[in-house]
């Protein structure tokens, strides 16, 4: 029997991890490299070269490569992504007010076209004239397009026609809403499509970097990507649907494998006491919430928070005791910036520290992310001017900023993913305290020395020493982490109206405040900490929550492990509706069909859903896929007679991915 090895990759905001895994021997080798945002291929190549060398495995024996990433999640949580043009077919401006679509759209352009369909798939004539007029300008100012049509899930022909028109006149990527979801709810489907379009370039660069490495090293194996529901999809599918990678289940899948028990993810995995199946996680029926937006992406029931070692440290010094808050924006830690860019970072911080007076922008630097130039399309004049002054090396904000209004301009460049901000983070605090040592401690110390020059409302320094401030930052990370865990688990106990960050009772319990009445709380199951910094951060979080904290031996590469233990799964939904007595319309997964016999319509729907699911699974690399069919018939009795409202035939095909040379 041929022995195959599985290569797992996880590209995160700071590190790219790699594991070489055997289904019979477990983890053979693991490796890490810094994620190189300006050129993802560099970090990926370094991590993969290390793990292949450490394992001693021949590249010819690698039968599968699987990729997990948090880049898309991070981008959505931080409000980042490319500029997308939204085309709404059959909708009007009032529809932007629903489901957070207007907030998500921001200043990105939207075009309204007459057209769309009704619930049975009958069309309103499509008018392409507004798009034809706007397209020349849009093609120069956006990086992608998102198309959402009224009832497109029942008849996608108008979305297809608009997509084909754009592709015929413009080389930019296009996403259609019916390709992402079969659920009704046009504005939320449009929101999901918009977010997807913003991520296309990012995931395309990531997948391309992986493919280039595999080609150079002669690794002839399928490349898979982890989807939000834990399933694996082909690299080609991930390029079309990058938002489905934004809520990937690789961490919990890896934790389940490493601990031998199922788990539920909320950025920190919390394991339920019982689960219906050790291989199937509970999915969120309403769609995943990412970056504050409820999407239509099918994903594990989870919550995503912008909180970690590279979270921005925000200090409010207006009160008598300065308040520290973290995130949700990510910064490049000063200790990491000095590691990446060398002496110029130290020189900037030392210059600021020598100044007689504290500067407003002390300890803050900016640098280009290095994304391709075309992603800077559509910048306003002020944005383009500021962007031109930022180079590939770090620039101090006190030398870059000439007016207060430029801060908002810089924030817009950050939101577009064009520049990074470097500043103090919990990782810097950990370096100052001696609990982390992988990066430049001197830069971290200088950054915190600059920060303690700030005065609180009483005119006193906000901290007595860099170490004092560092401990306060770490304590704040522990407290905020405990609060977000409680935010994830309290609804499980039916306490949906309790905000852990505002509850006085929870505050007393977490601080263990003494008094006549003492409050305490704990979890009824262990906390599973994952990630490279898990041993550093999570034991204190467990102590605050009065719960045992488990950190598996290979927690630092849990995402990469999770990437290779998943299955391919494809789900297709076909609908049957009755627009009038004796007429049954079949829609979904192909052209609409009209029947005069309900059972024949149902049978055709079953066949179409099953065949489409199996074909989709095969296209995504499933071997020997198994089919399951669920039928949901909504047919109430009205005035003594049965009336079909809608029948849904949901087919799911699943199987392990096909291995190379298998």
> Do 575 and 466 have their domain in common?
no
Provide the pLDDT for residue 651.
95
Spatial separation of the C-alpha atoms in residues 293 and 561, rounded to whole Å:
28
R_g of the chain, CA atoms, integer Å: 26
Residue 647 pairs with which residues in a beta bridge? 576, 633
Tokens of 131: 């798009």
- Which of residues 81 and 49 earns the better pLDDT score? 49
- 465 and 607 assigned to the same domain: no
Cβ proximity of 335 and 443 under 8 Å: yes
Lookup: tokens for 598: 């309900």
Residue 265 has pLDDT above 80, yes or no: no
Q: Which pLDDT value is given to residue 129?
A: 94
> Domain check: are 322 and 460 in the same one?
yes
pLDDT at 300: 52
- CA–CA dist 568, 226 (Å, integer): 9
Tens of pLDDT along 324-349?
999 888 899 999 999 999 999 999 99
More confident residue, 326 or 3: 326
Residue 183 lies in a domain: yes
The proportion of the chain whose per-residue pLDDT surpasses 70, expressed as a percent, equals 88
Mean pLDDT for 532-559 is: 87
The enclosing domain of 576 has a CATH number of 3.30.110
Please tell me which residue, 624 or 264, carries the higher pLDDT value: 624
Determine the pLDDT at residue 250. Answer: 45
- Give me the pLDDT at residue 279, please: 39
Confidence check: pLDDT of 40 > 60: yes
Least confident segment among 291-295, 444-448, 473-477, 591-595: 291-295
Q: Which residue has the tokens 């865990």?
A: 485
Residue at token pair 């026609």: 161
- Residue 489 has what pLDDT? 86
Q: What mean pLDDT, rounded, does the chain reach?
A: 85
Do residues 456 and 336 both lie within one domain?
A: yes
460 and 580, same structural domain? no
Q: Is 437 part of any domain?
A: yes
Do 331 and 439 lie in one domain? The reply is yes
What's the pLDDT tens digit per position in 617-633? Answer: 998 888 889 999 999 99
pLDDT of 535 reads 86
Residue 276 pLDDT greater than 70, yes or no: no
Which of 447, 474, 501 is the last residue in one of the domains? 474
| Inside any domain, residue 175 | yes
Three-state secondary-structure class, residue 573: strand
User: Could you read off the pLDDT of 467-487 as tens digits, one per residue?
Assistant: 999 999 999 999 999 998 998
459 and 608 in a single domain? The answer is no
- Say if residue 607 is in the same domain as residue 466: no
Q: What is the rounded CA–CA span in Å between residue 41 and residue 262?
A: 33
Question: DSSP label at 230?
Answer: S
pLDDT in the model for residue 278: 32
What's the pLDDT score for residue 555? 82
Same domain, 349 and 462: yes
* C-beta separation of 153 from 126 below 8 A: no
Other CB atoms within a 10 A radius of the CB of residue 265 amount to 26
Q: Which domain holds residue 115?
A: 82-198
Q: Inform me whether the pLDDT recorded for 396 exceeds 70.
A: yes
Domain boundary among 432, 447, 474: 474
Query: What pLDDT does residue 80 have?
Result: 65
Backbone angles phi, psi at 559, to 5 degrees: -60, -45
Does residue 25 form part of some domain? Answer: no
Helix or strand (DSSP H, E) at 160? helix 157-169
Instruction: Specify if 270 maps to a domain.
Output: no
The answer on pLDDT for 302 being more than 60 is no
Consecutive H or E run containing 269: strand 269-270
In this structure, are 180 and 325 located in the same domain? no
Beta strands at 269-270 and 527-528: parallel, antiparallel or unpaired: antiparallel
pLDDT higher than 80, residue 177 = yes
Binning pLDDT at 50, 70 and 90, where does residue 271 land?
A: very low
Q: What spatial distance separates the first Cα and last Cα of the chain, rounded to whole Å?
A: 10
% pLDDT > 90, the chain: 42
CATH number at residue 188: 3.40.50
Q: Averaged over 579-600, what is the pLDDT?
A: 90
**Residue 647, SS3?**
strand
Confidence of residue 558 (pLDDT cuts 50, 70, 90): confident
Other residues' Cβ atoms within 10 Å of the Cβ of residue 60: 12
Report yes or no on 425 lying in a domain: yes
Residues 317 and 457 in one domain: yes
Give the residue-averaged pLDDT of 602-617. Answer: 95
Q: Please name every residue paired with 634 in a beta bridge, in sequence order, or none if there are none.
A: 646
Pair 331, 422: CB distance under 8 Å: yes
Looking at the fold, whether 316 and 457 belong to one and the same domain comes out as yes
| Residue 294: predicted pLDDT | 66
pLDDT band at 77 (very low <50, low <70, confident <90, very high): low
Outline where 359-405 has alpha helix (H): 381-388, 397-400
CB-CB neighbours of 323 under 10 Å: 14
Q: How many domains does the chain have?
A: 3
Phi, psi of 325 (to 5 degrees): -130, 155
The predicted model gives 3-31 an average pLDDT of 87
Question: Is 68 a member of any domain?
Answer: no
Residue spans of alpha helices (H) in 523-584: 534-544, 558-564
Q: Say if 141 falls within a structural domain.
A: yes
Can you tell me the distance from the alpha carbon of 461 to that of 648, in angstroms, rounded to the nearest whole number? 64
Question: Looking at the predicted structure, is the pLDDT value of residue 272 above 50?
Answer: no
- Please say whether the beta carbons of 31 and 44 come within 8 A: no
pLDDT digits (tens, 9 = 90+) for 46-71: 999 999 999 998 989 999 999 888 77
Q: What is the mean pLDDT of residues 227-251?
A: 72
Most confidently modeled range among 94-108, 192-206, 288-302, 444-458 = 444-458
| Beta strands, E only, 253-342 | 269-270, 289-290, 293-294, 311-316, 323-330, 332-333
Higher pLDDT, 327 or 267: 327
Q: Is the pLDDT of residue 566 over 50?
A: yes
Single out the residue in 416, 450, 474 at which a domain terminates. 474
More confident residue, 626 or 75: 626
- Does the CA dihedral 576-301-298-254 come out positive or negative? negative
In this predicted model, what pLDDT tens digit does every residue of 83-110 receive, in sequence order? 889 999 999 999 888 878 888 888 889 9
């Amino acid at each position: 029997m041929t022995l195959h090895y599985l290569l797992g990759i996880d590209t995160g905001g700071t590190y790219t991890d790699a594991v070489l895994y055997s289904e019979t021997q477990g983890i053979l080798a693991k490796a890490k490299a810094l994620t190189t945002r300006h050129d993802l291929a560099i970090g990926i190549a370094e991590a993969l070269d290390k793990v292949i060398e450490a394992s001693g495995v021949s590249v010819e024996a690698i039968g599968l490569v699987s990729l997990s990433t948090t880049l898309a999640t991070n981008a959505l949580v931080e409000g980042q992504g490319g500029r997308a043009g939204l085309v709404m077919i059959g909708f009007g401006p009032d529809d932007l007010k629903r489901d957070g679509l207007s907030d998500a759209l921001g200043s990105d352009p939207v075009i309204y076209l007459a057209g769309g369909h009704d619930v049975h798939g009958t069309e309103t004539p499509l008018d392409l004239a507004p798009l034809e007029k706007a397209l020349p300008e849009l093609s120069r100012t956006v990086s992608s397009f998102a198309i959402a049509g009224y009832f497109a899930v029942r008849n996608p022909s108008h979305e297809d026609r608009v997509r084909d028109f754009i592709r015929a006149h413009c080389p930019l990527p296009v996403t259609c809403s019916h390709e992402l979801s079969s659920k009704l709810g046009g504005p939320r489907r449009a929101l999901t499509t918009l977010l997807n379009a913003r991520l296309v370039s990012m995931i395309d660069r990531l997948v391309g970097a992986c493919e280039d490495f595999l080609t150079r090293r002669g690794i002839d194996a399928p490349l898979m990507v982890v989807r939000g529901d834990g399933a694996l999809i082909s690299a080609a599918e991930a390029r079309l649907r990058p938002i489905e990678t934004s809520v990937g289940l690789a961490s919990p899948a890896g934790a389940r494998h490493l601990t031998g028990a199922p788990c539920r993810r909320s950025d920190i995995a919390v394991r339920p006491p019982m689960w219906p199946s050790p291989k199937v996680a509970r999915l969120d029926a309403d769609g995943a919430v990412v970056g504050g937006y409820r999407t239509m992406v099918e994903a594990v029931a989870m919550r995503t928070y912008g909180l970690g070692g590279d979270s921005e440290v925000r200090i409010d010094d207006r009160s008598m005791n300065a308040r520290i808050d973290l995130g949700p924006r990510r910064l490049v830690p000063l200790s990491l910036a000095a590691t990446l860019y060398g002496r110029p970072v130290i020189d900037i911080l030392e210059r600021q520290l020598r100044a007689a007076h504290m500067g407003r922008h002390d300890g803050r630097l900016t640098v280009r992310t290095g994304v391709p130039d075309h992603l800077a399309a559509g910048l306003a004049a002020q944005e383009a001017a500021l962007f031109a002054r930022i180079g590939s090396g770090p620039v101090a904000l006190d030398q870059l900023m000439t007016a207060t209004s430029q801060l908002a301009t810089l924030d817009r460049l950050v939101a577009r993913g064009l520049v990074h901000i470097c500043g103090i983070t919990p990782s810097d605090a950990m370096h100052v305290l001696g609990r982390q040592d992988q990066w430049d401690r001197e830069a971290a110390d200088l950054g915190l020395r600059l920060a303690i020059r700030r005065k609180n409302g009483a005119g006193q320094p906000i901290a007595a020493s860099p170490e004092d401030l560092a401990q306060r930052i770490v304590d704040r990370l522990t407290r905020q982490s405990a609060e977000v865990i409680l935010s994830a688990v309290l609804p499980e106990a039916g306490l949906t109206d309790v905000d852990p960050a505002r509850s006085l009772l929870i505050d007393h319990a977490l601080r263990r405040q003494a008094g006549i009445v003492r409050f305490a709380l704990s979890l009824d199951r262990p906390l599973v900490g994952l990630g490279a910094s898990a041993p550093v951060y999570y034991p204190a979080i467990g102590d605050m929550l009065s719960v045992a904290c488990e950190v598996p031996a290979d927690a630092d590469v849990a995402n990469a492990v999770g990437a290779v233990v998943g299955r391919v799964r494809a789900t297709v939904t076909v609908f049957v509706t009755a627009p009038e007595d004796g007429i049954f319309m079949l829609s979904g997964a192909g052209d609409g069909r009209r029947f005069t016999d309900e059972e024949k319509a149902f049978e055709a729907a079953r066949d179409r859903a099953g065949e489409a699911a199996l074909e989709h699974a095969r296209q995504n690399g499933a071997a020997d896929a198994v089919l399951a069919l669920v039928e949901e018939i909504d047919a109430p009795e009205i005035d003594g007679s049965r009336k079909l409202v809608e029948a849904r035939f949901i087919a799911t095909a699943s199987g392990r991915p096909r291995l190379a040379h298998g």
